[in-house]
Amino acid sequence: MKNISKIMGLCLGISLIMAFTFNKEELPFGMTKGTPEIKSMTSLAFGPEGVLFIGDSKSASVFALNTKDNGFTSEIPSVSIIGIDKKLADMLGTTTDNISILDIAVNPNSKKVYLSLQAGDGTPVLMKLEGDEIKPVSLDNVEYASVELNNSPAEDAKDGRGRSLRISSISDLGYSDGKLLVSGLSNQEFSSTFRSIPFPFTDNQDHASLEIFHAAHGRYETTSPIKTFTTAEINGKDYLVASYTCTPLVLFPMEDLKAGKHIKGRTIAEMGSGNQPLDILNVEKNGKSYLVMANSNRPVFRVNFADIENFEGSLTEPVADNFATDGVDFVSMPLTNVQQLDKMDNETMIILQRKSNGSLDLWSTDKADYLLR
């Protein structure tokens, strides 16, 4: 009888363990469930299966949020929201001067648009579009993972003008080939930095320092961060295509951006000083590939990738005059005051633009749009 009791007890224990194991929720990408402590949402980028990466410069961290928005559609919605800042302010019970739209990102699967906001008191807010309706994205009890960036500037670190260096710990985000790509500043001697972090997150962070020749400034620079970047295949090789304040356009071979390396980029264009690039992306039209860049004090620029492929040189001398341009040709498109860009698909852009009447509008191009003819 004792043996039977022991066997029954053992079976019961095994059954309980198995029940616990099968009932335990297995979360994707090594995520946990809870409420992430996000202090800011300065950059957004989508990764695999509806994962939204949120760059939090204040905490020098990146959060990966499982949006569970992974249904695929090939249908591209037409977006036209007039006065989106007013609509967002009304939702938050405030006025337009108390909110800032910091970034937009399109889910490549669902084609839904996500927006990161900052309220006047510094509170970060995440929103998304569903049809013509704007909805808040709750961050309570969600599935998420996070990574803190190594060697980021201290919270109280300042540049020579007294501006926070921590806010530039993340200047832009991207995702490619299973890795989160992060541009920004570190606390190292050559502080302009590009990080490549495997996803799901690990303790491994490939960290390369960058150097460029800035023709508008007439010098080599290692402390200015990339402001915005994309990746592209050029002549059969993968490159990081990056732009900086005062608008040099620079190429870095992706294969060279490895841990501990100091990389000199190839400056292929000087697109005018007194300007800051805001967003950059790749689009295609009629069999041609273009680089499209939004700017703070210039119209939207368009560069034909064929011209980039055909440009074999590098800018190593100062431009002759202030605001002068040099290198690869580019076209100024008939779009001004564009604050954010992303793409719905390879032929369709979504644009956040301050119109001449003062209205801040979010709108999408269509496949027949004249802008890329």
- pLDDT given at position 189: 87
pLDDT at 11 over 70: no
DSSP assignment of 235-285, as one string? TTEEEEEEE-TT-EEEEEEGGG--TT-EEE-EEEEE--SS--EEEEEEEEE
- pLDDT given at position 21: 41
> Which amino acid makes up residue 275?
N
The Cα 91–Cα 19 span in angstroms is: 44
Give mean pLDDT, residues 351-357: 96
- pLDDT given at position 271: 97
Give mean pLDDT, residues 27-33: 97
**Could you read off the pLDDT of 286-331 as tens digits, one per residue?**
899 999 999 999 999 999 999 999 999 999 999 988 889 999 999 9
- pLDDT given at position 16: 42
Mean confidence (pLDDT) of the chain: 91
Q: What would the two tokens of residue 165 be?
A: 């260096």
DSSP structure class, residue 225: P
Query: 276: pLDDT confidence band, cut at 50, 70 and 90?
Result: very high
Percent of the chain beyond pLDDT 70? 93
Angle at 199 between CA 194 and CA 205, to 5 degrees: 40
The Cα 138–Cα 68 span in angstroms is: 12
Give mean pLDDT, residues 121-126: 94
Beta bridge partners of 130: 133
Q: What would the two tokens of residue 121 be?
A: 């008191």
Give mean pLDDT, residues 242-266: 96
Query: 162: pLDDT confidence band, cut at 50, 70 and 90?
Result: confident
- pLDDT given at position 24: 53
Phi first, then psi: give them for residue 155, nearest 5 degrees: -60, -30
Angle at 132 between CA 127 and CA 133, to 5 degrees: 45
